[in-house]
Amino acid sequence: MKYTAVQQGLRPARWVHRSASIVMACCWLAVWGLLSRPVIGTLLQTLPELILVLVSSLLLYSLPGLAILKVLWVGQPLYPAERLALATGVSLALPPLVLEAAQMAGLRWSSGATYLYLAVALVVLAIPARGNSWRDRLQLPTRPDNHTLLLGGSVLLAFLLHYGIVHDLPVGMWGDAYQHTMMAQLLVDHGGLFHSWEPYAPLSTFTYHYGFHANVAFFHWVTGIPVTQSLVLVGATLVTLTLPLAYVLTSRWSGSRTAGIWAAVLTGFVSVQPSFYFNWSRFTQLSGQIVLPVVLLCIAIPIEAPHMEWRALLLAGLMTAGLFMTHYIVAVWAALFVMGYITVLMVRTPQPRVWLRLIRAAVLVGMITVLVAAPWLWNTLHGYLPRNVVGFVNHAVSTDRIAANASIEAIAPGYLNRPLLLLSILGLLLAAARRDWRMGLFAVWTMLLLLTVIPNMLGLPGTGVITFFTAAIAFYLTLIPLAAYLLGVAQATLSKQRPKAASILGTVALMGIVLWGSVWQQHLLNPFYELFTPADAQAMRWIQSHTPPDALFLVNMFPAYGDTLLAGDDGGWWIPLLTGRRSTLPPLTYGSERSNIPNYTQKINDFGKALHQTPLPSPAGIQLCRAAGVQYIYSGPHREHVDYRVDVVALRHSPAFTTVYDRDGVIIFALKAAS
């Protein structure tokens, strides 16, 4: 084939450009591999499972969301990277809605139902939309652009990094992991929503937001990986998904895809949050914060549209209902953003007709949300959660606990890195100078989040319902878009003068940040937060083979939440879930769920308080344990609340106890029968 002079001159240039990009990408991956050698070792050793987890995550968090967007999205056309990013959040919001619908239909969910769920999504995508090719049917781009490649590469490396970091954890870290794993296991055991927590705990209601747990169950049904490990792996996936959702939120709200890329990289590789969530297993809140950008973007469509579109209303209502079932507090934050958003729109367009349209759209979305979530809303009234919230509003809770929950701490560096905080402030100043009110909303949103912690500053009730910690670990979501906005504008300004230099510098800077972030995140896990250790896992196997099925264990516990509940202090807390044996300490949800045992919460608290006042091996403490039916005492290697732990030295020398297990820091005593 002959080419014109122009074509002949362009082809080598394109080939050279592509070759240079490929070489640079290969060099980048090689350097990443050298810097991440421990992670690479884990990836190679677990390659079959890695492939299973990666493929399953791609299916679960792309196909359902893409299908829903294909049917219901009526907003401005989405770029490929935006569509894929938005689809991940939509997919995350669907499992709790699906389980609610299955319960109403009287269906038991299972692995087969989950495969059918994915197959239906694939069929919807395969139905011809625009064009007849498979690429058109699946709405895939003909050729990925630079933004898609940069985002995709960053997300993939983030996933591999997080998978390698947490793969060896036997269970999730810190206290929240126990109750979250139990709830996910109960969803699997019951084939969907449940009421009874037996055989793990004597609780008889389930009112906790369950979006994250539903996703863990779906992941288990697809992969067959045990729920204990599925929770850890889904947690790693969720931390990774914050990157594409930060991208789509920032790119759509700022109008700059470059700013979106910066937001993704800053979120995934620079900010201490949400990566540090691994240490707390704070995955329920993280799930809500991933769905949150989807809700905001979907609600913006009917609010700003000149005419009502039922598909936009339905999509916004479904996503908002999914957010509510995923995390109640994050749903409140979404409502605050929407209120601020509508207020600004009304101020900018002071026309009653426009105001009426805005309010009508918000009300219709709210009605659809309530209609979809009505069964779950009714269910929440059967537990103690409404009572607990009312206690804060009516000041029935102790003033000390309210003050502790509402105390304000420094944001940097624990919750947000100082450089990011500075960039966010500069980004806000830039938005003000450019009169970019949309980006200014993120600063307003941050202040509203802070206000939920201290509503008493405006004379409002509810102080203490939302702790500063809960709000502060979400500030990355509201402040990083401002920092990314600043960097995006700076790169765009440079591009106008030196486009090639701006592109190269921006790409190199992004790659460098990813490499740097990959290094420090390898040391992300803090052993202090590892309640359940490999030594505990070994002890659980011994318990299963050497103790009777009806054995009752006393485990280490300490007062939490203003002395209103007792929490576990080591791996012994996991005994009921992992061995089927009973323990003296239920999951923390015993304070918000009902029990068939009268005054169950008070009985648990009274037992812990009495044992602390007459600790073992005192005669009174021994009598207390015998009266409760305790047969064994478990003490694990984790040590934080030393004053409340069992004194293992004293028990070793007490004639009332026999040491039956002592290995790697785990000690199990048998309490002798009264003579």
Q: Exposed, middle or buried, 222 (CB in 10 Å: 0-12/13-18/19+)? A: buried
Q: Which of 320, 310, 520, 511 is nearest to 413 (CA)?
A: 520
Look up tokens 């701490």; give the residue. 409
Domains by residue range for the chain, with CATH: 36-527 (no CATH), 531-671 (3.40.50)
pLDDT at 420: 94
Residue 27: pLDDT band (50, 70, 90) is low
Structure tokens at 264: 């993704």
Residue 404: pLDDT band (50, 70, 90) is low
pLDDT at 288: 97
What average pLDDT does range 445-472 have in this prediction? Answer: 86
- d(C-alpha 321, C-alpha 324), whole Å: 5
Task: Let me know: does 151 contact 266? Beta carbons within 8 Å.
Answer: no
Bridge-based pairing state of the strands 666-671 and 657-663: antiparallel
- d(C-alpha 541, C-alpha 579), whole Å: 8
- d(C-alpha 650, C-alpha 656), whole Å: 11
**List of residues 6+ apart from 637 with CB closer than 8 A:** 533, 535, 536, 570, 571, 664, 665, 666
Q: Which of 649, 673, 672 is nearest to 662 (CA)?
A: 649
Count of beta carbons in the 10 Å neighbourhood of residue 121: 22
Judge whether residue 141 has pLDDT over 80: no
Judge whether residue 624 has pLDDT over 60: yes
Task: Let me know: does 211 contact 92? Beta carbons within 8 Å.
Answer: yes
Judge whether residue 6 has pLDDT over 60: no
pLDDT at 260: 95
List the beta bridge partners of residue 555: 634
- d(C-alpha 75, C-alpha 519), whole Å: 39
Q: Exposed, middle or buried, 127 (CB in 10 Å: 0-12/13-18/19+)? A: exposed
pLDDT at 129: 65
Judge whether residue 597 has pLDDT over 80: yes
Judge whether residue 516 has pLDDT over 80: yes
- Mean pLDDT across the chain: 89
Q: Exposed, middle or buried, 290 (CB in 10 Å: 0-12/13-18/19+)? A: buried
Q: Which of 612, 610, 605, 571 is nearest to 588 (CA)?
A: 605
Judge whether residue 263 has pLDDT over 90: yes
Picking from 32-46, 549-563, 579-593, which range would have the lowest pLDDT averaged per residue? Answer: 32-46
Instruction: Classify 599 in phi/psi space as left (phi over 0), alpha (psi -120 to 50) or beta.
Output: left
Provide φ and ψ at 657, rounded to 5°. -130, 150
Look up tokens 């219901």; give the residue. 72
Provide φ and ψ at 632, rounded to 5°. -135, 155
What is the pTM for the complete model shown? 0.92
What is 252-285 written as a DSSP string?
Answer: HHHS-HHHHHHHHHIIIII-STTTTHHHHT-HHH
- d(C-alpha 24, C-alpha 22), whole Å: 5
Helix axes 437-453, 227-254, angle to 10 degrees: 140
Task: Let me know: does 359 contact 346? Beta carbons within 8 Å.
Answer: no
pLDDT at 326: 97
* Percentage of the residues of the chain whose pLDDT score is greater than 90: 68
Q: What's the distance, CA 211 to chain centroid?
A: 9
Task: Let me know: does 285 contact 329? Beta carbons within 8 Å.
Answer: yes
pLDDT at 41: 82
Residue 17: pLDDT band (50, 70, 90) is very low
- Integer angstrom CA distances of residue 257 from 78, 148, 385: 11, 10, 41
